[in-house]
């Protein structure tokens, strides 16, 4: 019977994207290509608002039907709404980057406090992090929120990453029979898929900051909720998000070490370099899907189903080939 809500919210997101496209065209909210862009045709943006509205409504429905703890849903709704609103305002007019980052930190701190903190987390089998775990959790949310914005640069890639990650983790939740309700994952995948049909393989509308930041934060919160269950499950989330985490992190570090500012616009992520080499966005996005499902998902499955002394080690195993790819493509290099 749960297939019906999935279908309903998929259709809702699809329909709302149509209206957001009409709104963007009417208000001239257009992303015009420049020397830093990965697209060549002026395209309306902000379509991801449909995903945000659909998913927030879905979470509200889960509260009403008592299928999800009220506290969990309200944390996702409140934090997601603030970040989506901030992104929406930024899509309509520039917001100072430092003010935007300050709000990101305030939201992340609020989320960590709402989830009860993570001082009890132990890593590498015996190392107790204490209060430092809360600081790491805040930095994790802020970084995932921003890296998702950085990685939303070609048709379909941000949507495919969200769909494959949530579906992968929903499958693992089912296999493990965890206490965490996987409905929130399936519903998010359905909402994002409704938008994806407007954005891939040819983009009729772009996602926009309102949704990219929302997705990054939401996935981060879901990963932290899993951390409350056990460390291996959290490591599985980090593994499934590997393509985005590695590409964004490696590129940023490389650029900062080369003397560039963190927020300078560029086209030197691995996925951007590949899209130029291959002459199309489509094979790159499909390659991301393939890596997620054929490499990262099996490793995440192994991580949560085997009694590993150090599940953190599997994150390194998953990331190493991705790091080598980024190095091979010279991600972050000014001439890439």
Pairing mode, strands 30-31 and 127-128: unpaired
Q: How far is the C-alpha of 38 from the C-alpha of 276, rounded, in Å?
A: 8
Q: Which residue has the tokens 């007019």?
A: 93
Nearest-5° Cα angle at 173, 297 to 200: 50
State the DSSP code for 38.
Answer: S
Among 148, 153, 157, which residue's Cα sits nearest to residue 292?
157
Question: Could you list the pLDDT tens digit for every one of the 336 residues in the chain?
Answer: 578 999 999 999 999 999 999 999 998 888 877 656 667 688 898 999 999 999 999 999 988 877 778 888 899 999 999 999 999 998 777 788 899 999 999 999 999 999 999 999 999 888 899 999 999 999 999 999 999 999 998 999 999 999 999 999 999 999 999 888 899 999 999 999 999 999 999 999 999 999 999 999 999 999 999 999 999 999 999 999 999 999 999 999 999 998 887 777 788 999 999 999 999 999 999 999 999 999 999 999 999 999 888 999 999 999 999 999 999 999 998 766
β-partners of residue 127 are: 123
Give the pLDDT of residue 23: 92
- DSSP codes, 30-59: EE---TT-S--S-EE--TTHHHHHHHHHHH
Ramachandran area for residue 116 (φ above 0: left; ψ -120 to 50: alpha; else beta): left
Q: How far is the C-alpha of 130 from the C-alpha of 67, rounded, in Å?
A: 32
Q: How far is the C-alpha of 165 from the C-alpha of 241, rounded, in Å?
A: 6
Q: Which residues contact 98 (CB under 8 A, 6 or more apart)?
A: none
CA atoms within 13 A on the CB side of 253: 10
Q: What is the pTM of this model?
A: 0.95
Beta strands in 107-174 (DSSP E): 122-123, 127-128
β-partners of residue 132 are: none
Beta strands in 19-121 (DSSP E): 30-31, 43-44
Give phi and psi for 54, each to the nearest 5.
Answer: -65, -45
Q: Which residues contact 49 (CB under 8 A, 6 or more apart)?
A: 16, 20, 84, 88, 208, 210, 211
């Amino acid at each position: 019977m749960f297939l019906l809500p999935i279908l309903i919210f998929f259709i809702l997101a699809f329909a709302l994207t149509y209206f957001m496209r009409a709104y963007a065209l009417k208000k001239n909210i257009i992303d015009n290509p420049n020397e830093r862009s990965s697209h060549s045709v002026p395209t309306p943006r902000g379509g991801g608002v449909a995903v945000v509205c659909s998913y927030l409504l879905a979470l509200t429905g889960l509260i009403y039907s008592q299928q999800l703890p009220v506290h969990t849903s309200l944390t996702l709704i409140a934090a997601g709404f603030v970040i989506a609103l901030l992104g929406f305002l930024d899509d309509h007019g520039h917001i100072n980057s430092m003010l935007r980052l300050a709000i990101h930190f305030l939201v992340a701190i609020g989320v960590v406090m709402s989830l009860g903190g993570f001082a009890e987390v132990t890593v590498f089998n015996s190392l107790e992090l204490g209060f430092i775990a809360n600081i790491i959790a805040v930095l994790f949310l802020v970084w995932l929120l921003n890296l998702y914005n950085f990685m939303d640069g070609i048709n379909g890639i941000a949507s495919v990453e969200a769909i494959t990650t949530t579906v992968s983790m929903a499958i693992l939740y089912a296999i493990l029979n965890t206490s965490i309700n996987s409905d929130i994952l399936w519903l998010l995948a359905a909402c994002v898929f409704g938008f994806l049909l407007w954005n891939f393989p040819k983009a009729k509308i772009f996602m926009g900051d309102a949704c990219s930041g929302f997705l990054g934060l939401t996935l981060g919160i879901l990963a932290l909720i899993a951390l409350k269950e056990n460390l291996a499950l959290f490591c599985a989330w980090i593994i499934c998000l590997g393509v985005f985490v590695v590409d964004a992190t490696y590129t940023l570090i490389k650029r900062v070490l080369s003397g560039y500012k963190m927020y300078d616009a560029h086209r030197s992520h691995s996925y951007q370099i590949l899209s130029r080499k291959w002459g199309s966005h489509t094979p790159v996005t499909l390659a991301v899907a393939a890596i997620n499902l054929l490499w990262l998902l099996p490793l995440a499955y192994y991580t949560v189903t085997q009694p590993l002394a150090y599940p953190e080690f599997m994150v390194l195993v998953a990331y190493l080939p991705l790091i080598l790819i980024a190095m091979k493509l010279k991600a972050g290099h000014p001439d890439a």
